Amino acid sequence: MPTVWEAEEEFKREVLDVNAEFAEGYVKLYKDIGYDGVIGIGPNPVTEFNEERIEPEIGDNFDIGEFARIVCDVRIGSGADIGQRAAIRADEGAPIIIGKNAEIEDRVTFHALKGTSVEVGNGLDAGNDAVLHGPLKVGDNLTTDDNAVVFRADVGDDVTVGKDAIIQGPASEDDPNDLELKIPDGTNIPQGAVVTSEEDLQELEDE
């Protein structure tokens, strides 16, 4: 059985390999399409893990801020408000699905590890500099305050994640999409809290 250190080293090598493919792929995308291919809303670079260029799909009545970036198999429902420098990149894991009436403030990041995805329901309200990273599944009416991080979890409806709080579930050894950390409907994660297990959730409830 591999040690924790060996698993971490393997993950680091995978990240380096992915970034090397990105560097090569985005250079080719620029050469093929030009400057418009690497800004705004557009397709992904072709890589071993995303073999086709896919354009995002965005519903009606949306607003997008300056320097925001939306890439590849991103599907956003109608009524979205996307802030400046937000990054919604399905160029590694895909798809990234966001429901209707999303309020995504400045510099919010959506991304997913290779072989995983992000699915968020309706009524998202993501504060400045929040990060939603796949594998991730979220119900309706999630609120994340500024600098909050939500990663590798199955989050219910009407959940609030406070400023600077972190939700990060454990990695599954068998299936990267197996989300062991469940956040129940209506949970309020307070400012600055770190939740990595069911025990952490229970401690918050007991306080």
Q: Which two tokens stand for residue 104?
A: 């995504």
Spatial separation of the C-alpha atoms in residues 153 and 136, rounded to whole Å: 5
First-to-last C-alpha distance (Å) of the chain = 38
Question: Residue 2 has what pLDDT?
Answer: 47
More confident site: 7 or 156: 156
Count the neighbouring beta carbons within 10 Å of the beta carbon of residue 177.
17
The 10s digit of each residue's pLDDT in 1-60 is 445 456 567 778 888 888 888 888 889 889 998 888 888 999 999 888 888 999 999 999
Give which of 83, 77, 34, 27 is closest to 56, Cα–Cα.
77
C-beta of residue 135 within 8 angstroms of C-beta of residue 179: yes
User: Reduced to 3 states, what is the DSSP secondary structure of residue 144?
Assistant: strand
Q: With left for phi above 0 and alpha for psi between -120 and 50, is residue 28 left, alpha or beta?
A: alpha
Q: What residues does each domain of the chain span?
A: 4-206
C-beta of residue 83 within 8 angstroms of C-beta of residue 70: no
Mean pLDDT of the chain: 92
Spatial separation of the C-alpha atoms in residues 39 and 95, rounded to whole Å: 19
Rg (CA), the chain: 17
Q: Report the percent of the chain where pLDDT is more than 90.
A: 73
The 10s digit of each residue's pLDDT in 164-190 is 999 999 988 789 899 999 999 999 999
Whole-model pTM?
0.91
CA–CA distances in Å: residue 60 to residues 75, 95, 141 = 12, 19, 20
Spatial separation of the C-alpha atoms in residues 133 and 15, rounded to whole Å: 15
Domain topology for 4-206: UDP N-Acetylglucosamine Acyltransferase; domain 1 (2.160.10)
- CB contact set of 205 (below 8 Å; sequence gap of 6+): none
Tell me, what DSSP letter sits at residue 171? P
